[in-house]
């Protein structure tokens, strides 16, 4: 029997996703004062709940307030008040979807202007040409700092469960901290955390183990993993396959396959090593291979915006279809598909010569759309890319001042 997009899927811990369509994570940068979720986030996630996705994965929540991917990031640690998170979970779960909090540490991918710490496996600065200076100089982590970070992932997962989320997704992709440990380009350590793949994967596997030990058996634990870094000499498809085999031995309920980093934004369809990705479902060929060895359901994300492509993903043996930007454009796309509509979400292109600036503009356009949804403006809109990027930079400066003040108060 052909699997439908609206066929439920059972996870290894016994819980169910009501359908095969997932709202994948996007970086919202919509924190209220105190780096907490507020009414804008609640309204945004209520729109996705009403939109019909069976799984909603939040934008990345930071495990350590000293290191954020952006100044509007949300922070959840052992000392954070849970009331705003309980409201967030309630809004997102209001129509029966599973709601997982994506938990993350940015590692070296921290903006210098924020004054945060850029912990990393090794002292390998960002390589973005003339834009490299925008990022903080990384410092190599000590054993104590690695141990502290593992504990923070577990504490954040525990807090997420207390707040009413049904799972967490550990972010080990897109060039963030765990991804940095996995990649030989950024991990040049000579101790038990570096060298061969078994050592480079140790942080991810230890984080999964620590999280699983702090949450209940029915709470979902997922991993977001790069199918490849798409940089010459980086984390490869063969590496990803072996990591999935190791994750099979742990209590992992789903693996989401993506790819790339700030230096090689494959998650936006652009690679640094010259490889050409599909126009939609960028990582499907990799996901098909990994689904063949995974004992847990596999999900893939990357440019999916049409029903026919979503069905192609399922027919390839991948269990869950992740959509991000498409559900920013049209948050009720799953419900429309279930009602029989065969429409897709139009993604506004940005094709500038400066790839780094083009990537920033694409992210700025998405964040502007998310802010609109969070303030109740759901009608589709087309924005000027250059104006949106300028406005986003001004907003980032304002949020950076607020974040630095908050960080100083909580030092």
CATH of the domain at 38: 3.20.20.70
Share of the chain above pLDDT 70, in %: 94
Q: Is residue 369 part of a domain?
A: no
**Virtual torsion, Cα 47, 53, 59, 63, nearest 10 deg:** 120
pLDDT bin (cut points 50, 70, 90) of residue 259 is: confident
- The verdict on residue 60 lying in a domain is yes
Q: Examine residue 384 and state whether it is found in any structural domain, yes or no.
A: no
pLDDT digits (tens, 9 = 90+) for 381-409: 889 999 999 999 999 999 999 999 999 99
Residues 6+ apart with CB under 8 A from 251: 12, 13, 212, 217, 221
Q: Is the pTM of this model over 0.75?
A: yes
| Residue 44, pLDDT score | 97
Asked if residue 87 belongs to a domain, the reply is yes
pLDDT at 264: 63
Using alpha carbons, select from 56, 49, 43, 54 the residue that is nearest to residue 87: 43
Kindly report the three-state secondary structure assignment for every residue of 308-352: HHHHHHHHCCCCEEEECHHHHHCCCHHHHHHCCCCCCCCCCCCCC
Domain assignment of residue 360, yes or no: no
Range of the domain at 118: 9-347
Q: What is the mean pLDDT of the chain?
A: 92
- The reply to whether 391 falls in a domain is no
Q: What is the structure's pLDDT at 357?
A: 86
Domain contains 362: no
Residue 370 lies in a domain: no
What total of structural domains would you count in the chain? 1
Q: What is the mean pLDDT of residues 314-319?
A: 94
């Amino acid at each position: 029997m052909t699997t439908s997009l609206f066929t439920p899927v059972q996870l290894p811990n016994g819980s169910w996703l009501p359908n095969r369509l997932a709202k994948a994570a996007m970086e919202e940068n919509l924190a209220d004062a105190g780096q907490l979720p507020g009414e804008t986030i609640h309204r945004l996630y209520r729109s996705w709940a009403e939109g019909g996705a069976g799984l909603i994965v939040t934008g990345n929540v930071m495990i350590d307030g000293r290191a954020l991917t952006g100044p509007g990031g949300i922070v959840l640690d052992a000392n954070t008040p849970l009331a705003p998170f309980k409201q967030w979970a309630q809004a997102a779960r209001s129509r029966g979807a599973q709601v997982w909090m994506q938990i993350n540490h940015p590692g070296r991918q921290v903006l210098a202007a924020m004054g945060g710490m850029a912990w990393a496996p090794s002292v390998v600065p960002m390589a973005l040409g003339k834009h490299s200076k925008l990022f903080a100089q990384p410092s190599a982590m000590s054993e104590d700092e690695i141990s502290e970070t593992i504990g923070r992932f577990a504490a954040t997962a525990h807090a997420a469960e207390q707040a009413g989320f049904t799972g967490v997704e550990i972010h080990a992709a897109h060039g963030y901290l765990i991804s940095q440990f996995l990649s030989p380009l950024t991990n040049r350590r000579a101790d038990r955390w570096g060298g061969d793949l078994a050592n480079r994967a140790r942080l991810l596997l230890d984080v999964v183990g620590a999280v699983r030990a702090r949450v209940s058996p029915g709470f979902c634990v997922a991993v977001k993993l790069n199918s490849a870094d798409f940089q010459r000499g980086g984390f490869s498809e063969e590496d990803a396959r072996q990591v999935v085999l190791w994750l099979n031995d742990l209590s992992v309920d789903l693996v989401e396959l993506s790819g790339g980093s700030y230096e090689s934004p494959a998650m936006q369809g652009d690679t640094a090593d010259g490889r050409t990705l599909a126009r939609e479902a960028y990582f499907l060929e990799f996901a098909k291979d990994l689904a063949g060895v995974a004992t847990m359901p596999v999900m893939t994300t990357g440019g999916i915006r049409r029903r026919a492509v979503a069905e192609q993903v399922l027919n390839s043996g991948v269990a869950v279809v992740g959509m991000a930007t498409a559900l920013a454009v049209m948050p009720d796309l799953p419900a429309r598909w279930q009602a029989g509509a065969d429409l897709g979400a139009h993604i506004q292109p940005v094709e500038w010569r400066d790839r780094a600036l083009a990537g920033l503009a694409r992210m700025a356009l998405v964040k502007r759309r998310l802010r609109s949804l969070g303030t109740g403006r759901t009608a589709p809109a087309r924005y000027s890319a250059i104006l949106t990027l300028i406005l986003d930079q001004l907003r980032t400066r304002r949020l950076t001042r607020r974040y630095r003040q908050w960080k100083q108060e909580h030092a």
